[in-house]
Amino acid sequence: MDMRPPPPATQTQGHLLIDDVVKVYDPEGAAVLAVDHCTLEIEPGEICMIVGPSGCGKTTLLNAVAGFHDITSGRILMDGEVLCSTDRPRSTPGPDRIVVFQNGALFPWKSNLENVIFGPVMQGKLGRREALDKGRAMMGDAGLSGVEHNYPGEVSSGMRRRVEIVRALMNDPKVLLLDEPYRALDSLTKSVMHEALLEIYYKNRVTIFFITHDLEEAIFLGHRVAIMTTRPCKPKKILTVDIPHPRDYSVLTSKRFRELIEETNDAVHEEALKAFQAGEKEG
């Protein structure tokens, strides 16, 4: 199996290396081994999709990259720089690696535009006025003009997701970390969101680390799809999607797409079954 990712873009920043990472929750007590010697390399500007059964440890891995919790051993590097390692187990969260959360984390008390300019203004990178201009322009690009002054609670959940991605991109991050951002959406909105995400991506080729349950979503969006084992989590199979970008919805009905689904479906199903049986045993 070819473990080397294809060179997807002319991007030079945003190389992510997860190197032999182990994460044990509650080592003194229950000692849940969530991530087990996981190694994964993501090239600059690549969309890498992470697929795995529920509770396998995907979010755990993402949180380690983002700096929300410690790792037990191993190391994580971005562009050759050590984010965290066995000696310094927690990386510092920062605007170079921005997370878009499973349930969305736009501040409901700020208008969409205020949310979007939050990063640069807090970091003092832009003045308020410049930030507002940039924010308006980026929202316009993402098809969000007209809702700048609405609060997140006033727009549809699909729009909220787009606002959140724009909020992340305002910081010129090297890596976007998306944790099942479209889980709660209906399939119609979801398909629109996929195209919208790709459109945004083609304009700003950042590295994307994207967690999902949905194999079709993974193959449609990703350059590569990492299929994870059930807990403890590590890559079981890495699929290179040889459908060229830019992609649009016609891909979904193409022969190659169907073939790729068939090729991976077994691996995914097998892990899901294992997870289910493990759950039966525990329960």
Partner 1 sequence: MAATLPVVAEDDAIAVLREATPFGEASPVVLSRIAALARPARYAAGERIYTAGDAADDIFIVASGRADHVFEPEVGAREPLKRVTRGGVFGWAGLLLGQTRRLATVTAVEPTEVLRIDTEALVALLESQPQEGGQVMARFAAMIRREFAVPELLAQVRRLSGPLTEEMSSLSLTMYRLSLWLKSPRPYLMLIGFALFLGIWYLAVEVWKLPRFREMPGLTTVVKEWFSPSPTYGLSLYTEEYYKHIVVSVWRVTQAFFLATVLGVTFGLLLGWSQRFREYVFPVFEMLRPIPILAWVPLAIVMFIATESAVIYLAFLASFYATALNTMLGVQSIDESYIRAASCLGASQKQVFRHVILPGALPFIFTGLQISIGVSWFSLVAAEMVSGQYGLGYVINTSYVMVRYPTIIIGMATLGLVGYTTSALVRLAGDYLMEWRVRELALAER
Q: Which stretch binds ligand ATP (CB under 6 A): 58-66, 104-112, 188-196, 236-244?
A: 58-66
63 binds Mg ion (CB under 5 A): no
C-beta closer to ligand ATP: residue 114 or 217: 217
Binding mask 12-51 for Mg ion (x = CB under 5 A): ----------------------------------------
Alpha helices in the chain (DSSP H): 58-66, 112-116, 118-123, 128-141, 157-169, 187-203, 215-221, 255-282
Joined together, the tokens standing for residue 122 give 């807090």
- Beta pairing class for 97-100 and 32-42: unpaired
From the list partner 1, Mg ion, ligand ATP, none, partner contacted by residue 150 (C-beta under 5 to 8 A by kind): partner 1
The letter for the amino acid at 216 is E
CB of 43 to ligand ATP, least distance (A): 23
* Number of Cα atoms under 13 Å in the Cβ half of residue 223: 23
C-beta closer to ligand ATP: residue 129 or 281: 281
- Burial string for 209-218 (b: 16+ CB within 10 Å, else e) reads bbbbebbbbb
Joined together, the tokens standing for residue 109 give 């008390």
277 binds ligand ATP (CB under 6 A): no
Backbone torsions φ then ψ of 78, nearest 5 degrees: -125, 125
DSSP 160: H
Binding mask 226-245 for ligand ATP (x = CB under 6 A): -----x--------------
DSSP 3-state of 34:
strand
DSSP 233: B
Candidates 15, 59, 200, 208; binder of Mg ion (CB under 5 A) is 59
Site for ligand ATP in 13-42 (CB under 6 A): 25-26, 32, 34
CB 53 within 8 A of CB 271: yes
C-beta closer to partner 1: residue 71 or 147: 147
Joined together, the tokens standing for residue 214 give 């949905």
CB of 274 to Mg ion, least distance (A): 18
C-beta closer to ligand ATP: residue 112 or 229: 229
CB of 244 to partner 1, least distance (A): 30
From the list Mg ion, ligand ATP, partner 1, none, partner contacted by residue 107 (C-beta under 5 to 8 A by kind): partner 1
CB 242 within 8 A of CB 263: no
112 binds ligand ATP (CB under 6 A): no
Residues that bind ligand ATP (CB under 6 A): 25-26, 32, 34, 52, 54-60, 231
